[in-house]
Structure 1
Amino acid sequence: MAGGPAKPKVTGRITALILDSLTKKPVDYATISLIKATDSKAVNGGVTDEKGKVVLQNVAPDQYKLSIGFMGYKSKTILVKTTPEKPDLNAGTIYVVPSQSNLKEVEIVGQQALIENKVDKLVYNAEADITNAGGDATDVMRKVPMLSVDINGNVQLRGSAVRVLINGKPSGTMASSVADALKMIPAEQIKSVEVITSPSAKYDAEGSGGIINIITKKKTSEGTSGSVNASAGTRSNNGAFNFNVKTGRLAVTTSLGVNHAYPQNSRVDVFNTAVINGVTNTVSQNGFSKWSRVGYNGSAGLDYDLNGYNNFSTNVKLNSFSNGGPGSSDIYTNQVFSQNIRDMDMSFNNMDWNVDYRKTSKKEGEEFSLSAQLSTGRNGSDFTNRFVTAGIPDFSIIGHNTGKNNEYTVQSDYTYPFSKTTVLETGVKGIVRDIISDYDASAQDFDYSQNVASAYGVMGFKLSKKITAKAGLRAEYTKINGVAGNITGFDNDYFNLFPSVVVSQNLSQMTTVKLSYNRRIQRPSLFYLNPFRNESDIYNPMEGNPKLDPELADNIELGYSTFIKGSIINASVFYRNTGNVIESSIRPITEDGINKNLTTYINVGTSQSYGLNVFGSYNPKPKWTLMANFGLNTYDVSSTQNNVNTGTFLNYTAFMRSAYALSGGWNTEVWGVINSPKRTFQGQTDAMYFYGGAVKKEILNKMATIGVNVLNPFSRDLNIKTVNNTATSSQKTDIHYPLRSFGLNFSYKFGKLKFTQKKSIKNDDLKKEEEQGGGGMGGGQGK
């Protein structure tokens, strides 16, 4: 109709994958230019990512020349064309030829780096580490620089609590037990792990130590692609399957992972002493627990491009996990002998459903997103204790707890670039959590609700040609109310501001120094809050504390990174001040004539911690890589209110790795991890170490691999000793955990995976447990 509004012009995108013609490896940071064929005018461009992929958005239908250039390679130009009917074009794989003088160098650098140091994070590429095959996410996390993982699978970043995300999203399983959630993810499903030590105000403020983001292989891809992985061993068996299909603007992705750990005996010895009315009472327990573990996780996702500017995606994840088993202990109480025959079962079932909408514009970098998430979980804990004593009738203690956790989240983010060097990021978010913990009788229910509203603004800009800065502020309001059994209802509302700032300077093209500050919060999760009394060990019961306050931490970090002839050095020093530190606490009590050490959780006091971390990677020969990481931090907690002054202790963690590639598709690797004794305000856990190796062979034209892995081959058990003391009691635990394992693994991949990233909800605001989980770890003690 004449005079009517003009029809909006359709735009699309052009994607391509740039590979080295000799090594068939990705060429990252290659410059891509899109030039109009009619007038040779450049209209668009970009840089390839670490996978060699480039995506050029907002491309109007026309004929173009796609030009590829990178130092050490011959320039290459191809003709491409898009139309209004088909505005999107996949140019496929484009091979670039190295110049003659650079052939040898290309063979060296063409392999994927195991560790990448980026501006705002450190990335561990797990898929490039052959020793991960046959393990789970816990095994992967043990080898990530700056992280320390105890035998239960609890993760810390430089000695402090950390928030763990999956593909940038929270998980209902993580809300119940991080340790058990990690054991549900086969290592073969993990693409990489991102360590974010100084998150900006854009991130949820949770995680006093920082954020860990596990990127899995469940990504949208062009065409049809997938992978199958299987492993069998003496400790556990894993399987993982991924399948992706994309036709036109529609993409569907699915995945499935299963895990089964054989039941194995863990020897558990516990010795308690208590001084009551001047008389010393002792309880000695010598026994075992025989736990097994079974779990699965699955997901299905849909991604649809409405046009070049609007995208819709949704994803559903299901997780189910159970562990437990029988056990027995011989008990000696002041010369009286008895036996405890027990059984323990713990289960975790969760569903996460995400819906995301993303809108871009013709202005490069401008983006609006709207996301919603529903998480539901149902967790169970059941135990039975039967006590047999000569001359006394048998008696039993039975416990049952069912926890239901429903979480609803809505989030919106907007990014606006004022220029190429000045970018504004802003957003709002709301989280509603409802928790019901039912134990033994309805009158003893724990009903808890937590609502969090937040908003943020972050500005990134340049101070000079070599100095960039990013500053932001996040505001969060938290409203809590609940009823805990016979405890009077409680309320706790608080408002916090979380500033963040980072300044980065390029000393040279390969050397960067960075100074950052941020404030973080660590809210206690259900594990810490639930007042359910777990008496799977009658002499060492456990319960949560519903009146815990959140931790608040201020962090300052100075970092330095450089690349020297293929070698990497990354070093940082930091200071952290944390208020209301949450730790486990034992307290001697007497009930029904039995002396016990009750474990609960309290806000101990204030912690000041100094630390450093040094990571290095070196290639003595082109196919030989040496890698090491060393982290050190102080532990010091004090409180006048609780009369606590621990003094200063040193914690450290060290990781070493040596990998060598042989001809014929063979790869070998050995590694080792050492964790120092871990302190608490009442005691410590002894040092522990892990080590392993692997051999892998490429087969079937490099589409499949087969290999063997070993873990701690020269020692069946890992001996873990923990001592806690109060003024009138002590608790000593000695666990022999079966760790040695041998395994055979196989993987097969098909198609071409070309990953695309989608923005989504990230709930980062709950402190996770330190004691629970581990698949057989201390089962008799209910941990």
Structure 2
Amino acid sequence: MKRLLLLIFTLVIFINARAQMPGMPGMGGGAKKTSVTGRITAVILDSVTKAPIDYATISLINAGNNKSVNGGVTDPKGKITLQNVSPDTYKLMIGFMGYKTKSITITTTPSKPDNNIGTIYISSTENTLADVQIQGTKAIIENKVDRMVYNAEADGTNAGGDATDVMRKVPMLSVDANGDVQLRGAAVRVLINGKPSGTMASSVADALKMIPAEQIKSVEVITSPSAKYDAEGSGGIINIITKKSNAQGVSGSINASAGTRQNNGAFNLTAKTGRLSVNTSLGTNLAYAQNSQTSFVTNTQYNDGTFNNLSQDGFSKWSRNGYNGSLGLDYDFNAYNNISSNVKFNHFSNGGPGASVYNISNNAGNIIANNISDMDMTFNNMDWNVDYKKTSKKEGEEFTISGQLSTGRTPTSFSNTIYNTFYPNGHETLSSNTGRNNEYTAQTDYTYPFSKTTTLEVGAKGIFREIKSEYANTASPDFNYGQDIASAYGVLSFDLTKKIKFKGGLRAEYTNISFNTLSGDTQKNDYLNLFPSAILSKTLKGNGTLKLSYNRRMQRPSLSYLNPFRNESNQFNVMQGNPYLNPELSDNFELGYSTFIKGSIINASVFYRRTSDIIESSISPLRGDTTKTSYINVGTSQTYGFNIFASYNPKPKWTLMTNFSGTTYSITNSQTNINTGTYFNFNWFVRSAYGFGKGYNFEVFNVITSKKRTYQGVTDPFYIYGASIKKDLFHKKGSIGVNVLNPFTKNLHIKTVNNSSDATGTVYQSTNIYYPLRSFGVNFSYSFGKLKFTEKKKIKNDDAKQDQQQQGGGMGGIQQ
């Protein structure tokens, strides 16, 4: 009761702007720790050869709570300097492949904040297999109170790949044939450095392919987000942390890959002098249509005693070309005040020609037609953010103000020319749509530690979206959509005992929506939701952890779901959004266990999720032999699931890893009260990586999925397999490698069957897509300078359901 009253009291203070920083009246002016900070310096050498160890990983861990507070890597002379270290007792952990992990206890004081440790010798691990296994595994996977962290930088086999390759190795995640990511069978919100990305809003698959694996520091899988996060994402949140430099001088990296499916390039550069840091990046992705994607679709309709059967056999040659870039500035006014700004831009262009043959059968006879088509979908986006952070003499106290502007423009156009007995010279249909998106965000957060074990976090946020979808070659009015969201949260974390920790909070979100219908009328909708969250974590004997959590989440439909623009790129299967969709609401319960056993890591969890107003695509008769695909609120689902992740090192340089996720699918329609029955879906990932010595690393992996159920149909299972080999160059500053994907299978066959029956008629649709997946490629990477990684709080707009079915763009250019 005392902690609850404390939480309420502090929230009131925050809302009235009285939770001030030190030097201002209010709670921030309490007892503080010393403001003195210092640095720790050491040189790491081989115990036998006395040679410097370049790129050894150094971690500074607080001896009191075992939390990592600083870290970095050594330079070519084996030297490491850790800046801004508060006086305390620490454990300095030194690790490097092929060497024993070494731990040294050090202490700094206010009177002597600097500590020059001098030379530290580390020895080979030839006869210490168990120690290597444990330390190496722990470095790759970390379990925290509310998330699992995959440290991609600690996994040497990632070099030469992209973010999609990294995601396939992350526990609990599944990546489908198109590159879309799910977490335990549900949609997730993907962030980059804690921020939304306009590129992710258009196509998660394309965005991930644009991020070289070497740029990724870690991937956070947040299955139980606290109330501090936006409530979006029924499955949870994925946060990709990229590498940044905070060291004096210049550092950067160059990455390039070429293959039969795609060609990537990326360049990153960071320069810091004194208090100013500048970073920039450029990237490109070129995927030309060297192979055709073929498809075969059968539609059968029954309507008022009439019969229509449509068979469509076609191919398309699509290209995907894109580039992105960013420029960031970071300036420290002093030890307690920092301001940073970053501008990002993205451009993608997708599309190409295609052709189809139609065979239409009905009560009147048969008609054969040929169609020549062309499609172009382009996405342009710019994100600009400004962030101010103020810390204090009290360790852990922090106040931030952030603002972000996002603008997007997405033109989409298509043409169809049909030839049949009625149009021997061809009949052409043209249509285009341009989506414009302006989004403004303001956010403030405040963290106050009452003690080492009790911390309060409060904050407020506003998101203001203005969307316009402009139509051409149609009499329909332009679609205007406005969405404003105001939210506030409070989270309290404390230790119940030395081994039991609690983190709980409450978030309130108010949403106001207005849009115009095709008839020109204006519709409005608003709703207020409360989102509680709670996590209870207990440390067990033998490095084990047990977690129990609950949270409520929401999935607002993204604007690609809502846009009523009629996409007739396939004139026999029209696609159209539904602006009347309600958001999904889900309640999530999870019990998880993780442990380290003799060099192996095991993480297991079971969960239950109840979701109302599930949003799914829906097919229905439109006219004659034509169907319409849109989105509807199907009903309520109850999902049970589990996840098992395991990693094992049979030898110091050999890693085996597997992840198996299983979920049930069951939906009860809210209108008919008919249940689909219960089905079981699973995703299985297996990986083996081996280091041969002399810089050679080999990896093979396999992904297997089960059938995927929806309310109206089912998609058949598929599997993906691949291998790569990499050679380190230039004293591990560079690498060159080759990779292969599905070498013995030319096409990935994806079959989907849908059945629909309502008052307008009955539809049976069978779709077979043959996606050219087999590929071979080479890759090269080179890094220069030294990196010391830091993270800064950024705006997180995790509030809109993403269209997992989009490939290279959405309908009408609408994005979040």
- TM-score, length of structure 1 as denominator length: 0.90
Give the 3-state SS of the residue equivalent to 1:684 in structure 2. strand
* 2:176 counterpart letter in structure 1: D
1:285 maps to 2:319:
no
Give the 3-state SS of the residue equivalent to 1:96 in structure 2. strand
1:261 maps to 2:293:
no
Cα offset, 1:248, TM superposition: 1.1
What aligned pairs does 1:378-417 form with structure 2 within 5 A after superposition? 378-390=409-421, 392-393=423-424, 394-417=426-449
* 2:447 counterpart letter in structure 1: T
* 1:287 counterpart letter in structure 2: G
C-alpha distance 266-407 of structure 1, shift in aligned 2 (>3 A): same
Are the counterparts in 1 of residues 59 and 68 from structure 2 also a CA contact under 8 Å?
Answer: no
Q: Look up the match of 1:419.
A: 451
Residues in 1 aligned to 2:352 and 2:116: alpha-carbon distance in whole angstroms = 52
What aligned pairs does 1:51-450 form with structure 2 within 5 A after superposition? 57=84, 68=92, 73=102, 75=104, 96-98=120-122, 104=128, 111=136, 113-129=139-155, 132-263=158-289, 264-334=291-361, 335-390=366-421, 392-393=423-424, 394-440=426-472, 443-450=476-483
Cα offset, 1:153, TM superposition: 2.6
C-alpha distance 279-100 of structure 1, shift in aligned 2 (>3 A): closer
Q: Look up the match of 1:3.
A: none
Cα offset, 1:133, TM superposition: 4.8
1:482 maps to 2:512:
no
Q: Look up the match of 2:14.
A: none
Of 420, 432, 454, the match for 2:487:
454
* 1:203 counterpart letter in structure 2: Y
C-alpha distance 145-431 of structure 1, shift in aligned 2 (>3 A): same
Give the 3-state SS of the residue equivalent to 2:625 in structure 1. strand
Q: Look up the match of 1:588.
A: 621
C-alpha distance 455-734 of structure 1, shift in aligned 2 (>3 A): same
1:739 maps to 2:773:
yes
Of 681, 694, 698, the match for 1:664:
694
C-alpha distance 444-177 of structure 1, shift in aligned 2 (>3 A): farther
C-alpha distance 661-93 of structure 1, shift in aligned 2 (>3 A): farther
Are the counterparts in 2 of residues 157 and 209 from structure 1 also a CA contact under 8 Å?
Answer: yes
Say which is worse superposed, 743-752 or 14-23, in terms of deviation.
14-23
Cα offset, 1:660, TM superposition: 0.7
Cα offset, 1:332, TM superposition: 0.6
1:631 maps to 2:631:
no
Cα offset, 1:489, TM superposition: 1.3
What aligned pairs does 1:569-718 form with structure 2 within 5 A after superposition? 569-590=602-623, 594-718=624-748
Cα offset, 1:232, TM superposition: 0.6
Residues in 2 aligned to 1:69 and 1:126: alpha-carbon distance in whole angstroms = 19
1:751 maps to 2:785:
yes
* Residue-by-residue CA offset, 1:639-683 (whole Å, 9 max, x unaligned): 241454211111100000011111111111101111111111000
C-alpha distance 67-532 of structure 1, shift in aligned 2 (>3 A): closer
C-alpha distance 482-75 of structure 1, shift in aligned 2 (>3 A): closer
Are the counterparts in 2 of residues 175 and 526 from structure 1 also a CA contact under 8 Å?
Answer: no
C-alpha distance 640-548 of structure 1, shift in aligned 2 (>3 A): closer
Say which is worse superposed, 517-526 or 436-445, in terms of deviation.
436-445
* Residue-by-residue CA offset, 1:185-232 (whole Å, 9 max, x unaligned): 344433322110000000011001100111223454442111101111
C-alpha distance 491-474 of structure 1, shift in aligned 2 (>3 A): same
Residues in 2 aligned to 1:718 and 1:117: alpha-carbon distance in whole angstroms = 35
Give the 3-state SS of the residue equivalent to 1:726 in structure 2. strand
Are the counterparts in 1 of residues 35 and 394 from structure 2 also a CA contact under 8 Å?
Answer: no
C-alpha distance 100-280 of structure 1, shift in aligned 2 (>3 A): closer
C-alpha distance 683-118 of structure 1, shift in aligned 2 (>3 A): same
1:550 maps to 2:577:
no
Cα offset, 1:315, TM superposition: 0.7
* 1:160 counterpart letter in structure 2: A
Give the 3-state SS of the residue equivalent to 1:182 in structure 2. helix
Residues in 2 aligned to 1:653 and 1:718: alpha-carbon distance in whole angstroms = 17
Say which is worse superposed, 13-22 or 356-365, in terms of deviation.
13-22
Are the counterparts in 1 of residues 232 and 554 from structure 2 also a CA contact under 8 Å?
Answer: yes
C-alpha distance 100-352 of structure 1, shift in aligned 2 (>3 A): closer
* 1:501 counterpart letter in structure 2: A
Q: Look up the match of 1:36.
A: none
Are the counterparts in 2 of residues 11 and 308 from structure 1 also a CA contact under 8 Å?
Answer: no
Residues in 2 aligned to 1:461 and 1:684: alpha-carbon distance in whole angstroms = 46
Cα offset, 1:545, TM superposition: 0.4
Cα offset, 1:164, TM superposition: 0.7
C-alpha distance 420-719 of structure 1, shift in aligned 2 (>3 A): same
* 1:306 counterpart letter in structure 2: F
* 1:610 counterpart letter in structure 2: Y
Q: Look up the match of 1:723.
A: 753
Say which is worse superposed, 143-152 or 723-732, in terms of deviation.
143-152
C-alpha distance 709-74 of structure 1, shift in aligned 2 (>3 A): closer
* 1:96 counterpart letter in structure 2: I
* 1:604 counterpart letter in structure 2: V
Cα offset, 1:96, TM superposition: 3.1
Residues in 2 aligned to 1:703 and 1:93: alpha-carbon distance in whole angstroms = 27
* 1:378 counterpart letter in structure 2: R
* 2:502 counterpart letter in structure 1: A
* Residue-by-residue CA offset, 1:238-287 (whole Å, 9 max, x unaligned): 01111111111111111111101121200111110001232321111111
* 2:504 counterpart letter in structure 1: A
Residues in 1 aligned to 2:248 and 2:209: alpha-carbon distance in whole angstroms = 30
Identity of aligned residues (%): 59
1:514 maps to 2:547:
yes
Q: How many residues in Structure 1 have an aligned counterpart in Structure 2?
A: 750
* Residue-by-residue CA offset, 1:389-436 (whole Å, 9 max, x unaligned): 145342112110111111101100001011100110110101101100
Q: Look up the match of 2:19.
A: none
Are the counterparts in 1 of residues 41 and 82 from structure 2 also a CA contact under 8 Å?
Answer: no
For structure 2, the 5+ residue unaligned runs are 1-31, 47-52, 75-79, 95-99, 812-816
Residues in 1 aligned to 2:330 and 2:574: alpha-carbon distance in whole angstroms = 48
Cα offset, 1:97, TM superposition: 2.6
For structure 1, the 5+ residue unaligned runs are 1-7, 34-41, 779-783
Cα offset, 1:756, TM superposition: 1.1
C-alpha distance 612-301 of structure 1, shift in aligned 2 (>3 A): same
Over the residues paired in the alignment, what is the CA RMSD in angstroms?
Answer: 3.1
Residues in 1 aligned to 2:610 and 2:790: alpha-carbon distance in whole angstroms = 38
Residues in 2 aligned to 1:774 and 1:550: alpha-carbon distance in whole angstroms = 24
C-alpha distance 77-374 of structure 1, shift in aligned 2 (>3 A): same
Are the counterparts in 2 of residues 692 and 711 from structure 1 also a CA contact under 8 Å?
Answer: yes
Are the counterparts in 1 of residues 33 and 394 from structure 2 also a CA contact under 8 Å?
Answer: no
Are the counterparts in 2 of residues 342 and 385 from structure 1 also a CA contact under 8 Å?
Answer: yes
Are the counterparts in 2 of residues 76 and 96 from structure 1 also a CA contact under 8 Å?
Answer: no
C-alpha distance 677-620 of structure 1, shift in aligned 2 (>3 A): same
Are the counterparts in 2 of residues 685 and 723 from structure 1 also a CA contact under 8 Å?
Answer: yes
Residues in 2 aligned to 1:723 and 1:747: alpha-carbon distance in whole angstroms = 43
Residues in 2 aligned to 1:722 and 1:415: alpha-carbon distance in whole angstroms = 49
Cα offset, 1:174, TM superposition: 2.4
Residues in 2 aligned to 1:364 and 1:126: alpha-carbon distance in whole angstroms = 29
Give the 3-state SS of the residue equivalent to 1:527 in structure 2. helix
C-alpha distance 82-306 of structure 1, shift in aligned 2 (>3 A): farther
Q: Look up the match of 1:768.
A: 802
Are the counterparts in 2 of residues 13 and 55 from structure 1 also a CA contact under 8 Å?
Answer: no
